[in-house]
Amino acid sequence: MASQVEGSATVIYLIPEGSDVKKGELLVELDSSDVDEKLDSQVVTTNASRATLNASRATLRSAEISLEEYVEGTFEESWKEYENSIFEAEQTRKQKSDITRFTERLLNLDYSTELQYEIDKVAEESAKNSLAVTNLKKMKLLKYTSEKQITSLMSDIETARAKVDSDKNSYNINLSRENRYRQQSANCKIKAPEDGQVVYANQDSRRMSESEMIKEGSTVRQRQVLIRLPDKTQMQVKTMINESNISSVKVGMPAKITFDSMPNRIVEGVVTKVNLYPEIVWMSSAKDYVTLVQIKEDVPELRSGLTAQVRIIADEQKFSALPNTERRLIV
């Protein structure tokens, strides 16, 4: 298992090496104080951006309602009012016209005066003008006022919609950052993905400085392997075969394995892999090839990192074997 915390972190708890653990058991805990502080701050920022987004959505809905209200309410109301006014003005015009015609007939019969006729004529013209003005107002409402108002309201909607999109992107970015911090905080607790035996990733301890060793209080970097959980049923030995003998080694060959911790016991094994290329060793001209030998027996005493001696049987009929090789047990 490797650290998944961004940057570096300090080990504040480490399960003892060699412990047998069950799936889900805590193996390593890293200091999460910095991540938790960032998370707390980010939660505030995310909540603020959520509130801003909700306000933007409310503004957009309000703008949409305003458009619906104008088109289906205010405009229709004004349109009906002008139609009523036109109808009333038309009726008034007809009445004034009938009165003028009647006065004209009376004048021809000398039952009325020229003055009365002129008064009625002016009233008729006034009614005609009122009707014309009302028709102009109706046309103005349809052609100019409504179009200008609808254009303005649609512009408000587009502006509000753009604000919602912008605030939504900002909220998603903040939420993603918050979730990342939450995951980082959770990553500070490394748990066993399966049953196994705890082995610290200190196999190259001879090349590691004291500060690089896996222990409580040490600083680890992202993706640094901290612990391995070898499966005892899949133990194998990594050994090196010199180029003078490598051509005799094949996958599937049997092997005899002894361990320094159990010198009187011989364990059966089988070759599972032979590297095609030699291992490069600094300042050495020797050409050795990595070879993996699978342990075929169930040996409860086995531990990762034990020193072993391997004899690969090249020709069982002649009971011959390759020279002993001493290597460490791996998984």
- Output the DSSP codes for 149-166: HHHHHHHHHHHHHHHHHH
C-alpha closest to that of 90 among 102, 82, 79:
82
pLDDT of res. 247: 87
Q: Is the model's pLDDT at 32 over the cut of 50?
A: yes
Q: Are residues 138 and 274 in the same domain?
A: no
**Is residue 251 a part of any domain in this protein?**
yes
Q: Are residues 98 and 170 in the same domain?
A: yes
**Is residue 1 a part of any domain in this protein?**
no
**Is residue 157 a part of any domain in this protein?**
yes
CATH number, domain at 85?
Answer: 1.10.287
**Is residue 214 a part of any domain in this protein?**
yes
CATH number, domain at 195?
Answer: 2.40.50.100
Please give the model's pTM, rounded to 2 decimal places.
Answer: 0.63
What crossing angle do the helices spanning 33-69 and 146-187 adopt, rounded to 10°? 160
Q: Is the model's pLDDT at 317 over the cut of 50?
A: no
**Is residue 2 a part of any domain in this protein?**
no
Considering 131, 160, 186, which residue would you say is the last residue of a domain?
186
Residue 305's identity, in one-letter code, is G
Q: Are residues 326 and 217 in the same domain?
A: no
Q: Could you report the per-residue pLDDT of 263-304, keeping only the tens digit for each?
A: 888 999 999 999 998 887 666 677 889 999 999 888 877 777
Mean pLDDT value across the chain: 87
Q: Are residues 144 and 251 in the same domain?
A: no
**Is residue 110 a part of any domain in this protein?**
yes
| Phi, then psi, of 53 in degrees rounded to 5 | -65, -45
Q: Are residues 105 and 176 in the same domain?
A: yes
pLDDT average, residue stretch 225-248? 85
Q: Are residues 22 and 61 in the same domain?
A: no
* Count of domains forming the chain: 3
- Assign 238 to helix, strand or coil: strand
Residue 330's pLDDT band (cuts 50, 70, 90): very low
Q: Which range of residues forms the domain containing residue 20? A: 8-31+188-221
Strand arrangement of the beta sheet that strand 219-221 belongs to: 189-191, 26-30, 8-14, 219-221
Q: Are 324 and 310 in contact (CB under 8 A)?
A: yes
Q: Could you report the per-residue pLDDT of 95-152, keeping only the tens digit for each?
A: 999 999 999 999 898 888 999 999 999 999 999 999 999 999 999 998 899 999 999 9
pLDDT of res. 87: 94
Residue 19's pLDDT band (cuts 50, 70, 90): confident
Q: Are residues 40 and 170 in the same domain?
A: yes
Q: Could you report the per-residue pLDDT of 64-81, keeping only the tens digit for each?
A: 999 999 999 999 999 999
Q: Are residues 241 and 170 in the same domain?
A: no
DSSP label at 325?
E
Q: Are residues 107 and 213 in the same domain?
A: no
pLDDT of res. 147: 92
Q: Is the model's pLDDT at 4 over the cut of 80?
A: yes
Q: Could you report the per-residue pLDDT of 200-224, keeping only the tens digit for each?
A: 887 554 444 545 678 888 899 999 9
pLDDT of res. 320: 47
**Is residue 121 a part of any domain in this protein?**
yes
Residue located via tokens 């200091």: 31
Q: Are residues 211 and 239 in the same domain?
A: no
Residue 31 vs residues 28, 178, 181, 228: alpha-carbon distances, Å:
10, 18, 14, 20
Q: Are residues 88 and 216 in the same domain?
A: no
Structure token digits, residue 113: 């005066």
Residue 18's pLDDT band (cuts 50, 70, 90): confident
CATH number, domain at 304?
Answer: 2.40.30.170
Q: Are residues 143 and 267 in the same domain?
A: no
pLDDT of res. 168: 97
Please tell me the number of Cα atoms within 13 Å of 228 on its side-chain side.
15
- Assign 31 to helix, strand or coil: coil
pLDDT average, residue stretch 313-323? 56
**Is residue 3 a part of any domain in this protein?**
no
- Assign 57 to helix, strand or coil: helix
